[in-house]
Amino acid sequence: MRNESRFQFLRSLLEGSSVVKRRIFVSYHHHQDQWYYDEFVHLFANSYEVFSDMSLQREIDSVDDDYVRFQIRDKNIRGSSCTVVLCGAETYERKYVDWEIKATLDKLHALVGVWLPTLRLIDNGAKKPERLQDNVDSGYAKWIKWRDLTSNVLTTTIESAIASERSQIVNHREIRKRNG
């Protein structure tokens, strides 16, 4: 390598072009929580490679549940470091959210739940998707509130989730067959 080329290579490394952004997938109820997803992308697009909005109902034209779950694993979850689940009032009822959480755990990826302001307390707890709740209870998944989200808090939470012991994963539930 010529000196000039070597210098350009070293300069590009020093300028941060070699810094890899964590790739995260965001799971949420598209109809109810789109504003929070858009805000999340706006707030964290410079820090993370956030997957673009892919509503499964529009993106995958199939009624074959096995095919849809395969697409979730291969198109959405593959290559990510972490799945962030935005939990609003009806998120716990959404089958695609459950499938995305299952695929995340099958791939041994990190899992973070975010308590949106629209999620109310029920029986002294917040109603999360059951598979997420299992993993919050086991210590594998992390749980944070929307109002506490800053770049530093999210980074710390994601890195903590990535460092979670894989033996804590709880993924034995039957998949959700329908919404509601």
Domains of the chain, residue spans: 20-168
Give me the mean pLDDT over the 15-22 stretch: 60
Q: Quick check: helix, strand or coil at residue 85?
A: strand
Residue 132 has a pLDDT of: 98
Give me the mean pLDDT over the 114-129 stretch: 88
Residue 35 has a pLDDT of: 96
pTM of the model: 0.81
- Taking the C-alpha atoms of residue 158 and residue 141, their distance in angstroms, rounded to an integer, is 10
Question: Domain spanning 20-168 has what CATH number?
Answer: 3.40.50.2300
Give me the mean pLDDT over the 95-115 stretch: 94
Residue 114 has a pLDDT of: 97
- Taking the C-alpha atoms of residue 8 and residue 98, their distance in angstroms, rounded to an integer, is 47
